């Protein structure tokens, strides 16, 4: 099955342009393949488009797990309102990038006592996800001499419909079940922690605006209901994210307009029901996913029983997501191109595979591409999120992938 080439990156003289440079020149500048390249102008444009569409009251946070590359984070730090982290390692990255502690929140179901102590010492907001965390935070608060800033991450009774990955509703390791929330809110007040609000994250990778609107509405209603049990006024209401990007044939872009209208209505209602609350949305792949490409080089061209294989120096060890081994039930191809033969009419059906000794090392299976030879550059689009950092780069002792911000 064929994909349209990404329209976000320009093409000149049959060659992809990335960060204002022809792909072969960029590859020469990087020095070796494979590599990830992230286009800072595309990231800035996406944030600017969101700012122009969303109500001004809505705060925009970056979910650092989507792509923790330090240079990329440093660029985003200049145009977002905060960062959401999921480990002490990500806390260091956020602080090193200059993100103010009061603009950092920490979520995750398995925070260690040491991580919680670091969070209290740093002065960031901790999203409580377990009864166990409350006495640990209280002990760290007493030791530091400052009350821990906390919010309650709530596992609601509903799921984010049409989500690629559901993280709320039903039995989940994430957050506190909504029915248990009043009890934990009382415990937070009794231990003297500095309660600030609620965090919801029903799911991710959703291309249906109606589903996101419904989840936001129901999350807000639940927050208002739970606020009656809170030990202090709600100052922060994180409605999560879930904004998806198109990866596969037949998928259409998420329509942001209905979501923006819904958030405007929520902000108006919050001004009355939760007058001190700052409304936050938390986005990861939507900010950076389409701004990144993965580039590898064809090192061999093989014919096996009538099927053409382009063997490259890249593979699942560096781009697990594109191989279909990171959350896909049925494997589908990411958009792919030959970077210096974008518009060639002479096409053939090929499979692009990596150098690893496993049949799972497939980057694209039976796609229509221009005729390619060893030395040509293969480009996998939609690679700015969940690429290098989620891949098993130590597998078979290949060297780590290079990442550049251009």
Which pLDDT belongs to residue 201?
83
Handedness of CA 119, 157, 209, 292 (dihedral sign): positive
Q: Which two tokens stand for residue 349?
A: 């059906």
pLDDT tens digits for range 27-60: 999 999 999 999 999 999 999 999 999 999 999 9
Residues 117, 95: Cα–Cα separation, whole Å: 16
Residues 308, 370: Cα–Cα separation, whole Å: 12
Residue with tokens 């500095």: 194
Residues 227, 282: Cα–Cα separation, whole Å: 21
Residue with tokens 């049925």: 330
Q: How confident is the model at residue 159 (pLDDT cuts 50, 70, 90)?
A: low
Is residue 34 within 8 A of residue 393, CB to CB? The reply is no
Among 82-86, 173-177, 229-233, where is mean pLDDT lowest?
173-177
Domain boundaries, the chain: 11-38+290-405, 68-283
Distance of CA 238 to the CA centre of its chain: 16
Common-topology check for domains 11-38+290-405 and 68-283: no
Q: Which two tokens stand for residue 350?
A: 């090929």
pTM (predicted TM-score): 0.93
Q: How confident is the model at residue 168 (pLDDT cuts 50, 70, 90)?
A: very low
Which pLDDT belongs to residue 2?
42
**C-alpha R_g of the chain:** 23
CATH code: domain 11-38+290-405 is 2.40.37.10
* CATH 3.30.420.130 at 68-283, yes or no: no
pLDDT tens digits for range 333-368: 999 999 999 987 778 999 999 999 999 999 999 999
Burial code of 355-369, b = ≥16 C-beta within 10 A, e = fewer?
A: bbeeeebbbbbebeb
Angle made by CA atoms 243, 246, 247, in degrees to the nearest 5:
125
pLDDT tens digits for range 259-312: 999 999 999 999 999 999 999 999 999 999 999 999 999 999 999 999 999 999
Residues 113, 101: Cα–Cα separation, whole Å: 19
| Higher pLDDT pick, 241 / 2 | 241
pLDDT tens digits for range 82-117: 999 999 999 999 999 999 999 999 999 999 999 999
């Amino acid at each position: 099955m064929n994909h349209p080439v990404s329209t976000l990156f320009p093409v000149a003289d049959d060659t992809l342009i990335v960060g204002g440079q022809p792909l072969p020149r960029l590859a020469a500048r990087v020095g070796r393949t494979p590599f990830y390249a992230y286009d800072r102008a595309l990231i800035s444009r996406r944030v600017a488009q969101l700012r122009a569409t969303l109500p001004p009251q809505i705060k925009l946070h970056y979910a650092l797990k989507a792509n923790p590359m330090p240079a990329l984070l440093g660029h985003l730090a200049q145009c977002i309102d905060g960062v959401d982290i999921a480990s002490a390692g990500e806390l260091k990255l956020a602080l090193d990038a200059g993100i103010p502690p009061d603009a950092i929140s920490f979520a995750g179901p398995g925070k260690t006592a040491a991580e919680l102590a670091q969070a209290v010492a740093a002065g960031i907001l901790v999203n409580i996800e377990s009864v166990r965390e409350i006495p640990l935070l209280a002990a760290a608060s007493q030791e530091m001499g400052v009350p821990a800033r906390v919010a309650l991450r709530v596992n609601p009774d509903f799921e984010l419909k049409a989500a690629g990955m559901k993280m709320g509703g039903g039995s989940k390791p994430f957050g506190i079940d909504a029915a248990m929330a009043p009890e934990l809110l009382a415990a937070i007040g009794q231990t003297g922690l500095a309660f600030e609000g609620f965090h919801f994250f029903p799911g991710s990778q959703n291309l249906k605006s109606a589903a996101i609107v419904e989840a936001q509405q129901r999350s807000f209603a639940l927050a208002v209901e739970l606020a009656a049990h809170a030990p202090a006024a709600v100052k922060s209401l994180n409605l999560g994210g879930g904004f998806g990007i198109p990866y596969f044939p037949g998928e259409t872009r998420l329509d942001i307009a209905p979501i923006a209208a819904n958030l405007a209505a929520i902000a108006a209602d919050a001004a009355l029901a939760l007058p001190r609350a700052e409304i936050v949305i938390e986005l990861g792949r939507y900010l950076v996913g389409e701004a990144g490409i993965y580039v590898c080089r064809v090192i061999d061209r093989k014919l096996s029983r009538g099927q053409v294989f382009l063997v490259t120096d890249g593979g699942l060890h560096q781009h697990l997501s594109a191989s279909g081994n990171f959350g896909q039930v049925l494997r589908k191809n990411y958009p792919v191109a030959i970077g210096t033969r974008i518009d060639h009419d002479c096409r053939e059906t090929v499979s692009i595979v990596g150098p690893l000794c496993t049949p799972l090392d497939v980057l694209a299976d039976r796609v229509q591409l221009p005729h390619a030879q060893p030395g040509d550059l293969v480009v996998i689009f939609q690679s700015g999120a969940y690429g290098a950092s989620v891949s098993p780069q130590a597998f078979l002792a290949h060297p780590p992938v290079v990442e550049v911000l251009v």
